Amino acid sequence: DQTHEFDRCDQCGNVYKWTAYEPDENFPALSSTLRFSDEVKAALDQKKPLVALESTIISHGMPYPVNFETAIAVEKVVRDNGATPATIAILDGQIQIGLSQDQIRHLAKMGREAVKASRRDLAVVMAKKQTGATTVSATMLLAHRAGISVFATGGIGGVHRGYEETMDVSADLTELGRTPVAVVCAGVKSILDIGRTLEFLETQGVTVATYGKTLDFPAFFTRTSGFQSMLKIETPKEAAELIAANHAVDLQSGIVIGVPIAKEDAMDDILVGEAINAAVKESIEQGIVGKESTPFLLKRVNELTGGNSLKSNIALVKQNASVAAKIAKDLATLNA
Ligand code: PSU
Ligand code: MN
């Protein structure tokens, strides 16, 4: 019956309950709002481990065809590590939880023609039947609606440098404050103000951990940022226990798990720092603001490092996907 359909979080074993989405004649049925791929539907029904994946990284984060190849490779890493990937996007206004290879190729080819969709854009893209690639914020929200509590990506958005002037703070951070999904990422790029990003996350009540043997919070292309997490997590099981505790007390806020890029894939601090500084300077000179800012900076850093940053980016996303899959697996075992 419909009520059962709505208890998605129960299906994946979370203690979390959905009361806000009880069927109601004034409220469109969520089950018809989210469309699941067969693979994702089967995994949810069988309470198998799932890892959500975002799609803005495909459309706006990397050039074609590397974006397509990476998205497919990342899904494979998730499967190889025992979980089911659920890449999330909105196609012609329809929310899709789990994409086919053709759908991923479509988004990859669309690139920036797709709407970069964060929380505020979701209803617009749906109502106007547009195609939207979901950012970390929108992907978290939709993953949670679907009953998926582990999400892997490259990096999260943050507080932009010069935010005192622009007030540019990524919606990813407020989403982390209001949605109980664990985001496995390589930390925060230094195109952003990492210190202020961590302060903002603290204010939002977000648990921030480093995956590994130190507290050093990673800076995406490099293993350290000069800032520290609250705690270190050394095993997938520890991460799963943290997520289970978050659900048990119904925190309704998210977790950041920062996985430092592997040593062999990391970039030289100074070289990447110079590229980032140059890119930030150009963005200011050219008056790039709002949602254009992050894609502009990512593209310029890729160009200024002669494609080296893209290689690191691909390597770290795969690593994050593998860690996330292992965490999802242990979480499914805990919840069984
Ligand atoms: N950082 C990256 N790659 C990305 C993004 C961020 O290294 O692709 C994307 C993610 O989708 C993230 C979004 O959620 O950019 C943040 O955009 P903004 O800063 O406009 O909130
Ligand atoms: Mn912004």
- Would the CB of 61 count as within 6 Å of ligand 1? yes
Q: Is 189 a catalytic residue?
A: yes
Give the per-residue SS3 of the chain: CHHHHHCHHHHCCCCCCCCCCCCECCECCHHHHEEECHHHHHHHHCCCCEEEECCHHHHCCCCCCHHHHHHHHHHHHHHHCCCEEEEEEEECCEEEECCCHHHHHHHHHHHHHCEEECHHHHHHHHHCCCCEEECHHHHHHHHHHHCCCEEECCCCCCEECCHHHHCCECHHHHHHCCCCCEEEECECCCCECHHHHHHHHHHCCCEEEEECCCCECCECCECCCCCECCEEECCHHHHHHHHHHHHHCCCCCCEEEECCCCHHHCCCHHHHHHHHHHHHHHHHHCCCCHHHHHHHHHHHHHHHCCCHHHHHHHHHHHHHHHHHHHHHHHHHHHHC
From residue 61, how far is each of 41, 67, 69, 226 by CA, in Å? 27, 8, 13, 25
d(CA 38, CA 125) in angstroms, rounded, equals 24
Query: How high is the mean pLDDT of the chain?
Result: 91
Ligand number nearest CA of 191 is: 1
Q: What are the tens digits of pLDDT across the range 36-89?
A: 999 999 999 999 999 999 999 999 999 999 999 999 999 999 999 999 999 999
- Would the CB of 193 count as within 6 Å of ligand 1? no
CA of 73 to the centre of ligand 2 (A): 28
pLDDT at 23 exceeding the cut of 90: no
The residues that bridge with 91 in the sheet, in sequence order, are: 94
pLDDT at 8 exceeding the cut of 70: no
- Note the ipTM here: 0.98
pLDDT score, position 32: 67
pLDDT score, position 136: 98
pLDDT score, position 31: 53
Confidence of residue 161 (pLDDT cuts 50, 70, 90): very high
Nearest-CA residue for ligand 1 atom 11 is: 135
- Phi first, then psi: what are they for 78, rounded to 5°? -60, -50
Instruction: Enter the pTM of the model.
Output: 0.92
Q: What are the tens digits of pLDDT across the range 104-152?
A: 999 999 999 999 999 999 999 999 999 999 999 999 999 999 999 999 9
d(CA 185, CA 204) in angstroms, rounded, equals 18
Mutate to test the pocket of ligand 1, among 87, 153, 175, 176 (most ligand atoms within 8 A of CB): 153
Q: Which atom of ligand 1 is nearest to the CA of 192?
A: 19
Mean pLDDT (whole number) for 235-250:
97
pLDDT score, position 7: 40
Catalytic residue (one of 39, 54, 75, 175) = 54
CA-CA-CA-CA torsion sign (157, 159, 161, 162): positive
pLDDT score, position 10: 44
Percent of the chain with pLDDT over 70: 90
